[in-house]
Amino acid sequence: MCQPCNGTELISADGTTCVPRRCQKSGGRVVCRKCPSDYISVTQNFDGSPMKEVTCFKCHRGYKAYDNKCVKCEVCSCGRNEMAVSGKCLPKKYVMERPKYSDNKLHPNALLDIVKLEYLCTQSDTRACHALARECVKYLYLTDLAGPCRLWLQKNGTYEYKGLPYLVHESHKEISLRRGKNTLLLAMAIYSPNGALQLLQDETQGIFSCLPPILIKVGERYSVDCTKNITDLNSDFGKLFELFIPGENYKAFPISILKPDGNFVQKGSWPRSKFRKIFLIDKILSTTTNMTTIVYLRKLLIAFRIERGLKESLKLYIHTEAHFAIKSPLVQQITTTLLVDHEMPYASVYRGLEIWGAILSLLFCIYALVQWRSVIRRGGLYISIIPLIASATADGIYFATSFSTLHALAAEAGNLGITLPLSQTEENIIKIVLYSVIILKSLKVVWINWNQCRVDVFFIDWLQHHSSISDLPTTGYRHDWRSILLAKEWMEWQAKRRSSPIATVICTLGILQALDGLSWVAIERTLLERLLDVELTNSEGSNVSTLLYDINDNTPSCLALTWWGEEWTLATFDCMLFGSIFVGTNNLLLAAITTILIYQMLKELRLWFGSRNLKQKTGIKVE
C-alpha cells in the first residue's frame, strides 16, 4: 500500500520515491529549507534516478517559476527600453508619452490591460483591437483621452489602425419598404470577446427574448419584459451586440447610450453623434473597493419614424436608445425591456374632420331646431334645446370622425397597398372626440329618461262614465284587473328597443303630455313629418290634444314616451360608448361587456322610475 512521505521529505516527480529535504533542528523543532520564489524544487536526476537530497534550481532568463515548473515569461526578458505592462513588454517611450488617465473610473489593473491592448492594436493585432473595443463599450464610451476609447477619440476621428472596429454609426440612406410590405426583420450580430462574429437573422435563433431577431409589423407597438438569473447569463458576459436590418447592404442601427446615472454619453468628443455597439451584461471592478459591479441593459427602445415616399413606398428612419442600470447586490435577477414604437405619418384625418364636422354638425343642428320647435308646440320646456343641440352636435362630430377616418384609410390602402395605423396625434384627436361626444350624447339620454318618467298617466275605463278625468284622485281607490294588466303591459313596453323595422305594436294606452281633458283628435302624419320624425301640424285648440299616427304601420304616438321611439338616440349612444371605451382600453371584450352592463343599468333605472311615476300618477303599483 502507498504511504505518504513524512514532513522532511518530498515525493519525486514520478511519484515513486520520497526524497529527503535539507532540514535541521532548532529549539526542539525541525526546520526544512524552502526554495525561493524564482526557483523550483528538483527531486530527480536527468536519468530519472532520485536525488539524495532535494535541490533548488533557478529558472533561466525568460522563464519564471510557476507550479514548480519553469514556464516562459515574456516580461522576464524585457530589454532596457521596455517595461512590463500586464504580462507584456511594452516600449517605455510609448508608455511614457501616452496621456495620463484622470477620470478615476477605471481600476488600475483594468487600466494596465487597456494600455497593453492599445499598444498591440497599434501593431495591427486585430484580436487586440476587438478586445479594446469591448473595453470601450463596457465602460459606456468614456470620453477621457487616456481611457479605453482613446484610439477612437483622437483628433479628426480617423481610424488608421488595421482591425480597429467601428464603434460609431455611419450615416446611410433611409430604409424603403416597397408597396404592400408592412413587416420588417430586425436582426442581430453577436461579437465574442475574441472578436468572433455570429449573425442571427432567424426569429428562432434569439438567445434572449428581449433582444432581436424579431419580426416587426409597421405601426404595431411591441413591448416585452424578460427576467433572467445572473447564473443563466454567465456566457453572455463580455459579448457585444449590434442591431441591423438584413438586406443587400449592411445597415446598422444608430444607438444612443443612456448611462446608469441618467445622462446620455457625451457626444461632443465623438466623430459621430450615435453609436452602434452595446452589451447586455458585464462586470466592472470598483476603483475604491475590491468588489465588482454588474451593469446590464435595462431597456432597449427602438423607435421608427415612417414617412410616405415616392413611387408608392414607405421610408423608415430608426432611432434606438439603450438604457443601462446597475444591478442591486440584494437580487440575483435582472429585467430587460424591449420596446418598439412607431411615429406614423399624418393621414389627413384632422382636415377631413374639419370639413365633415362643419357640414354634418350644421345639418344636425338645424334638424335639432326643428325638433325643438315641435317640442315647444306640444307644451315642452324651452330648456329642452340644450339636450337636443348637444345630441345633434355629438352626432355630427361622431359621423364626421368616422367618415374622415374611413376616407383616409381607404386612400392609403389604394396608394400603398396596405392600411397603416393613424399617427399618435390623430389617435389622440379621435379619443378626445369620442370622450366629448359620449358626454354630449349622455345629456340627451338623461333628458329623454327624465322627461318620460314625469308624464301624467291615466287609465281610462271606457265602459264607465267619467265627467272630469283630471279631478280623479290617484290614491285611495281600487283598480280592477283590467287596469292592472294594462299597467303591467305598459311597464313592459317602456324599456323595449326596436329589433326589426317591420315590427308593429298596437298600444291601447294613451299618454298625453300636458293632458287637458278627454278632448283629443287623431291626425295622420304627413310625409315630411314621417321622414323627419317631427310634428309640423298645429293643434286645433287650446283644450284639444293631438294623437298623431302613421297610416302605414298604425304606430300610436304614445311610443314617443318609450324607448321604442328613441332608437336613433339610444343606438348612437351605444356606438359612442363602445368606441370611447375601446380606444381608451384597446380591449374589445371589455368595451362590449361595459356597453351591455350600462344598457342593463339604464333599463333597470328606467323601469324603476317608470314604476314610481305610475304609482304616483295612478296609484297602481306594479310588482
**CB-based contacts of 382, cutoff 8 Å, min separation 6:** 376
First CA to last CA across the chain, in angstroms? 105
Cβ-contact 420, 220 below 8 angstroms: no
> CA gyration radius for the chain?
44
> pLDDT of 461-495, one tens digit each?
555 554 444 454 545 445 566 677 777 777 777 77
> What confidence category does residue 518 fall into, taking pLDDT thresholds of 50, 70 and 90?
very low
Number of neighbouring beta carbons within 10 Å of residue 15 = 7
DSSP assigned state of 501:
T
Does residue 502 register a pLDDT over 50?
no
Angle between helices 126-138 and 108-122 (to 10 degrees): 140
CA 479 – CA 473 distance, rounded (Å): 12
- Beta pairing partners, 442: none
Q: What is the Cα–Cα distance from 198 to 543, expressed in whole angstroms? A: 94
Model confidence at 411: pLDDT above 80:
no
Residue given cell 460609431 in the structure block: 168
Residue 108 has pLDDT above 80, yes or no: yes
Short-list 595, 549, 556, 547, CA closest to 573: 595
Q: What average pLDDT does this structure show over 3-26?
A: 83
| pLDDT value for 504 | 29
* Predicted local distance difference test score (pLDDT) of residue 324: 93
Confidence category of residue 36, pLDDT binned at 50, 70, 90: confident
**Neighbour-count burial of 577, counting CB atoms closer than 10 A to its CB (0-12 exposed, 13-18 middle, 19+ buried):** buried
Top-confidence residue, 422 or 323? 323
pLDDT tier at 189, thresholds 50, 70, 90? confident
Instruction: Report pLDDT digits (tens) over 423-475.
Output: 777 778 888 888 888 899 999 888 888 877 877 666 655 555 544 444 545 45
Question: Hey, what amino acid is at 13?
Answer: A
Query: Percent of the chain, pLDDT > 70?
Result: 74
Task: Give the list of residues 6+ apart from residue 32 with CB closer than 8 angstroms, or none.
Answer: 7, 8, 21, 22, 23
Tell me the C-alpha distance between 280 and 302, whole Å.
16
Highest-pLDDT range among 177-181, 197-201, 389-393: 389-393
- DSSP assignment of 240-280 equals EEEEEE-SSS-EEPPEEEE-TTS-BPP-TTSSSS-B--EES
Query: Tell me: the pLDDT tens digits for 59-70?
Result: 877 777 888 888
The residue that leads in pLDDT, 525 or 48, is: 48
Mean pLDDT along residues 111-131 = 89
3-state DSSP assignment of residue 195: coil
pLDDT attached to residue 506: 32
pLDDT tens per residue across span 79-95: 888 888 888 888 999 88
Spatial distance between the Cα atoms of 281 and 325, rounded to a whole number of angstroms: 10
Which strand (E) or helix (H) includes residue 94?
Answer: helix 92-97
Q: Can you tell me the distance from the alpha carbon of 158 to that of 604, in angstroms, rounded to the nearest whole number?
A: 78
| Residue 262 cell numbers, joined | 441618467
The more confidently predicted of residues 9 and 173 is 9
Q: Other CB atoms closer than 10 Å to residue 197's CB: what's the count?
A: 11
Contacts of 618 (CB under 8 A, 6+ apart): 457, 458, 459, 474, 479, 483, 487
pLDDT band at 230 (very low <50, low <70, confident <90, very high): confident
Please tell me the distance from the alpha carbon of residue 175 to that of residue 165, in angstroms, as a whole number: 24
Mean pLDDT of the chain: 77
CB 255 within 8 A of CB 276: yes
Lowest mean pLDDT among 20-34, 122-136, 416-430, 587-601: 416-430
Q: Cell for 195?
A: 472578436
Q: Yes or no: say if 332 and 294 are a contact pair by the CB < 8 Å rule.
A: no
Average pLDDT over residues 567-585: 82
Helix, strand, or coil (residue 425): helix
pLDDT of residue 473: 52
What are residue 588's phi and psi, to 5 degrees?
-65, -40
Report the candidate in 170, 116, 124 with the shortest Cα–Cα distance to residue 148: 116
pLDDT at 242: 87
CA gap 368, 213 in Å, rounded:
57
Position 433, amino acid = V
pTM: predicted TM-score of the whole model, two decimal places: 0.59
Specify the 3-state DSSP secondary structure of 82: strand
Higher pLDDT, 323 or 488: 323
pLDDT of 276 > 90? The answer is no
What average pLDDT score do residues 180-188 get? 77
507 has a pLDDT exceeding 50: no
Spatial distance between the Cα atoms of 391 and 401, rounded to a whole number of angstroms: 15
Residue 510 pLDDT: 37
Q: What is the pLDDT of residue 116?
A: 92
